[in-house]
Structure 1
Amino acid sequence: MNILIVEDEKRLANALKQILLEQKYMADVVYDGNDALDYGLSGIYDLIILDIMIPYRDGYEVAYELRKNKIETPILMLTAKDAVSDKVTGLNRGADDYMTKPFAPEELLARVKALTRRRGEVIIDEADFGDFNFNASTSTLTKGSKSVHLNFKEAEILKLLIANRDIILSKEDIITKVWGYDSDAGSNNVEAYISFLRRKLNFVNSSTEIKAIKKVGYRLENKG
């Protein structure tokens, strides 16, 4: 899951990013309204955490412009303003939820989870596909009596493939979701981790295949 943090207080922005990274979310950070709009318009994010008091364009304007451009990404407004009128303004401009500073990390994470689920995001804790089981909390791939641990990138790619089992994922989609919007990762990175995942599927003797669709991308296929 890829989250955009818009917060001009750099210490708070970095703290927010760390909280999310510890929960295995991907997170990009920007510090002003112009960058917030540019990044948000890309449509690649599953959630935007948006401060109101930011330079150039405030959070209200950013939210309004995103909705005007038909960007449906959930927006969580995060601000020191707690007046009812401020909350109403934020919601009317397109925010989905509103949280005031200071906040508890547990509350933030609960709201993040609620907003992404509201959008229909598939949050995988444990899933079966074909003849294998994947436990996201332990990053373990299991078939019968054999199991193997996946590293972080392998686990994120497998979660993405399972969640999108009915469509073909392009390499660009995988890079954006797993490495992040500003990453220098390229096709070779994706190919390498797909190769690692295939080896681990083979290790547990799974008949499931990560099928490469030439010039399009990848999808899971159950050969059993």
Structure 2
Amino acid sequence: MKILLVEDDILLSRALVDLLSANNYTIDLANNGQTGLDMAISAEYKLILLDWQIPQLDGISLCKQLRSQGYNKPILLLSAKNSNVDVVTGLNAGADDYVIKPYDPEGLLARIRSLLRRSGAIRSSKLTWGNLCLDQISGKVTYEQEIVPISAIEYKILELFLQNPNRIFSRQVILDRLWGLDDAPLENVITTHIKDIRKKLKASGLTAEMLETVYGIGYRLKPAPDDSVATSGVIVDAPETKTPPQSPNLAAVNRVLEKFRNSFSKRVAVLEGV
């Protein structure tokens, strides 16, 4: 799930990126208001984290411009300004919520989850595939209720496929979806991550192949196994073969043939002895 962070403080932005990435969010970073405005309009984000005091275009002005253009995604305003007047100013500018610095990390994450749920970005907290479950609230993946130990980026890859079960994703599209604009790795990294996901799922007991390679194109999610109709290890008896009943006409013919069979055989024997 992609979030835009607009923050010019280098240390604070790094701490926020680390916090959000560890909780399975994908972060794009803008260090001034104008860049933030351009990115918000040109790309798809589920939420914007917006600092008030940023260069070129302050957070309040940025928020107003986005709302005036019909932008309807959640905006969470971050600010050291803590008076009631400041909070009201931020909310009146179009922010959906207001967090005062310094913030509690768990409290900030709870605010983000709340905004995403309200906006419909998280329609269901759990994505499932057979007995595999990805919980978007806890950020955990389980198979038959046992935790699968995957990394943050592996979680995001699984989430992408579970949210788009009928779509084929090329390696480049996965890179575009899950990495920032400036730090995307080479495409072969995706191949490595897919292999690692498969190994970890298999080690956790999932024997069915979940991610299918579409050669020359990319990857897609295979249909989930139907455990309720699985017949592995069960021997099913073959249905009994029954002789179909004869029609009345065919039965009469057989009786006539049977009546004359013996006399016909005797005549053949006499002829052979001549």
Band the TM-score falls in, shorter-chain normalisation:
0.7 to 0.9
Q: Which deviations, in whole Å up to 9, do the C-alpha atoms of 1:75-134 show, x marking residues without a partner?
A: 10011223444333323332111122232222211111111222222387654313x413
AA aligned opposite 1:51:
D
Q: 1:168 to 1:88 in 2, by over 3 A?
A: farther
Residues in 1 aligned to 2:44 and 2:171: alpha-carbon distance in whole angstroms: 14
SS class of match (1:73): coil
Cα deviation for residue 156 of structure 1 reads 1.7
Give yes or no for contact 1:211–1:221 (8 Å, CA) kept in 2. no
Q: 1:92 to 1:148 in 2, by over 3 A?
A: closer
Counterpart in the other structure of 1:133: 132
Q: 1:7 to 1:201 in 2, by over 3 A?
A: closer
AA aligned opposite 1:222:
P
1:210 aligns with 2:212: yes
Q: 1:83 to 1:162 in 2, by over 3 A?
A: same
Counterpart in the other structure of 1:32: 32
Cα deviation for residue 158 of structure 1 reads 0.8
Residues in 1 aligned to 2:148 and 2:110: alpha-carbon distance in whole angstroms: 30
AA aligned opposite 1:134:
C
Alignment of 1:49-128 (within 5 A): 49-122=49-122, 127-128=127-128
Which has the bigger relative contact order, CA under 8 A and spacing at least 6?
1
AA aligned opposite 1:92:
N
Cα deviation for residue 58 of structure 1 reads 0.7
> Is 91-100 or 163-172 further displaced after alignment?
163-172
Residues in 1 aligned to 2:107 and 2:139: alpha-carbon distance in whole angstroms: 24
Give yes or no for contact 1:46–1:116 (8 Å, CA) kept in 2. yes
Q: 1:211 to 1:17 in 2, by over 3 A?
A: same
Counterpart in the other structure of 1:194: 194
Counterpart in the other structure of 1:222: 223
SS class of match (1:53): coil
Q: Which deviations, in whole Å up to 9, do the C-alpha atoms of 1:147-167 show, x marking residues without a partner?
A: 964343222211221123355
CA root-mean-square deviation: 3.3
Percent identity of equivalent pairs: 36
Q: Which deviations, in whole Å up to 9, do the C-alpha atoms of 1:162-193 show, x marking residues without a partner?
A: 12335555545522342233223244333443
Residues in 1 aligned to 2:151 and 2:123: alpha-carbon distance in whole angstroms: 18
AA aligned opposite 1:17:
V
In our comparison, the structure showing a higher alpha carbon Rg is 2
Give yes or no for contact 1:139–1:151 (8 Å, CA) kept in 2. no
Counterpart in the other structure of 1:182: 182
Residues in 2 aligned to 1:180 and 1:61: alpha-carbon distance in whole angstroms: 25
| Larger strand share, 1 or 2 | 1
Cα deviation for residue 67 of structure 1 reads 2.9
Structure 2 residues without counterparts, runs of 5 or longer: 226-274
Counterpart in the other structure of 2:21: 21
For normalisation by structure 2, the TM-score amounts to 0.65
Counterpart in the other structure of 2:156: 156
For normalisation by structure 1, the TM-score amounts to 0.77
Query: Between Structure 1 and Structure 2, how many residues are aligned?
Result: 221
Give yes or no for contact 2:6–2:29 (8 Å, CA) kept in 1. yes
Residues in 1 aligned to 2:209 and 2:124: alpha-carbon distance in whole angstroms: 21
Give yes or no for contact 1:117–1:123 (8 Å, CA) kept in 2. yes
Structure 1 residues without counterparts, runs of 5 or longer: none
AA aligned opposite 1:157:
I
Give yes or no for contact 1:3–1:49 (8 Å, CA) kept in 2. yes
Give yes or no for contact 2:23–2:152 (8 Å, CA) kept in 1. no
Cα deviation for residue 23 of structure 1 reads 2.4
Give yes or no for contact 1:207–1:222 (8 Å, CA) kept in 2. no
